[in-house]
Structure 1
Amino acid sequence: MNDLFSILNLADYRFIHGLIESPFNLTDDTRISTLVAAFEKEESPENRSALNTQLESSLRYLGSSDLAYTFRSITGSDPGVSFQEMIRDVASTINVDPPALGTAREMVEQLATDYATKQFADLSTEQQQQMLEDLGVDREKAASFLARSAGVFALPMLIEAFNFVIVQGLIKTIVFGTIAKIVGSQIAGRLFSFLVARMPWWVSWIGPAAWTLSIGWTTIDLQGPAKRKTVPIVLYLGLCSLRERHDLEAS
């Protein structure tokens, strides 16, 4: 998972830690908090490596049931599920096809884009029009695109019709709306402030007004505390991968 964690910055770590935090976890939240603080003080390879190791352990715990995790720990087996298995479980939970085999980055990016595209397709034409206009698309251009698409959407088609910045904004709006619905607006607002403070260029224009509206369009309904963590974390990691890809293409 080094390819995925290597693109995370301090705000990302804080955001993910905020999603993981729980008094009921067997995973060591305090340890993550300590490691994040150490990384904030000095962004050294050693501090990043220690933080990534603990983060991976925590994610693999969250992808397991407490009973199975405890049993595997007692028997000396590797206690957590693989990250690939967790991604497939998240895909099943949010009703999208599991990503094809690839790197962790490729899988979470595909999952996030497939989920956002599906959610957008499930909106009414009026809601789709509103979202595109909110993202800065001209009204006539948005209406013309929606008429041509006839309800069939794919990422390449969206990028061709608009540009990657607009499409990334659409994906971010839907994903942040989903995260806010899962964790609650109050927690989402607090976590979102980490991102605004550190990366205003990435998220300031996808603020609470946008993703709060998206909450009402999000139909996902999760059962169980673990999925209320794994789903937003995996989707957020997909956003991080998209952000990095866009930065590389723009440079």
Structure 2
Amino acid sequence: MVSIKDDFRVAAIQTVSSTQLAQNLDQASLLIQQAVDGGAQLIVLPEYFCLMGNKDRDKLAIRETLGHGPIQEFLCAQALLHGIWLVGGTLPLDCGEPDRIYNTTLVYDPSGLRIARYDKIHLFGYKKGAESYDESVSIRPGENSPQTFTAPCGSVGLSICYDLRFPEFFRALGQVNLMVVPAAFTYTTGSAHWDVLLRARAIENQCYVLAAAQGGKHENGRRTWGHSVLIDPWGDVVDSIAEGSGIAMGDINLQHLHDVRESLPALKHRTM
């Protein structure tokens, strides 16, 4: 049974991940420690925190089976060491195909127990001029329904990056107090749409949104937008970071959440 707290500190970690797994885990470990030192009790890592390869298929080389592998061992150990709720960004999990993986978020509780899994269902594709991305080349879309778990701030909904563009996905999570978004938005799409999409999801669902992003120029030449952020149910930014590695941190205040929903009961007014 999870005890609910009126004020619960959360943190989004921002990285500029490299092509080296060990280096990326070391970076994540240092930032997790800093977030814990700042009082964070729930921490979210970004999408691809463990690897930003030179090629799309580089992630296949570090794929893991569920319950086994150094990335999962790292996440479990960090949650247990610090006694935190850890949303492990994303990692490549075996999907039964030789040339593709699931892009998966795993969640660990303070005892190091894995309590939730979400395989990304919306795969990013973009092409304009010389800039082109197609996640379906190396990723198989997940087949799971929207996933939630319960933490001391109440119900938490899971999403990954490109999901952000599909408001019906977030509605399907039901009424949650917090939505988390591990991401690696490109500089092009992030500079145009990141902030407005995140604020929209917070406002229309009247909940906190915590987005942990990749943020900077990577070895593979890709530039990610960053701007990891915590947004409150009114759409106001609680804390954010621009580019580079770092942390966005703040409190989930359940009284504020209640007040927003009571003063503007949009969720109760829904007819569809």
What's the TM-score, normalizing by structure 1?
A: 0.25
What's the TM-score, normalizing by structure 2?
A: 0.24
Task: Find the structure with the greater CA-based Rg.
Answer: 1
Q: Which has the higher contact order (CA 8 A, sep 6+)?
A: 1
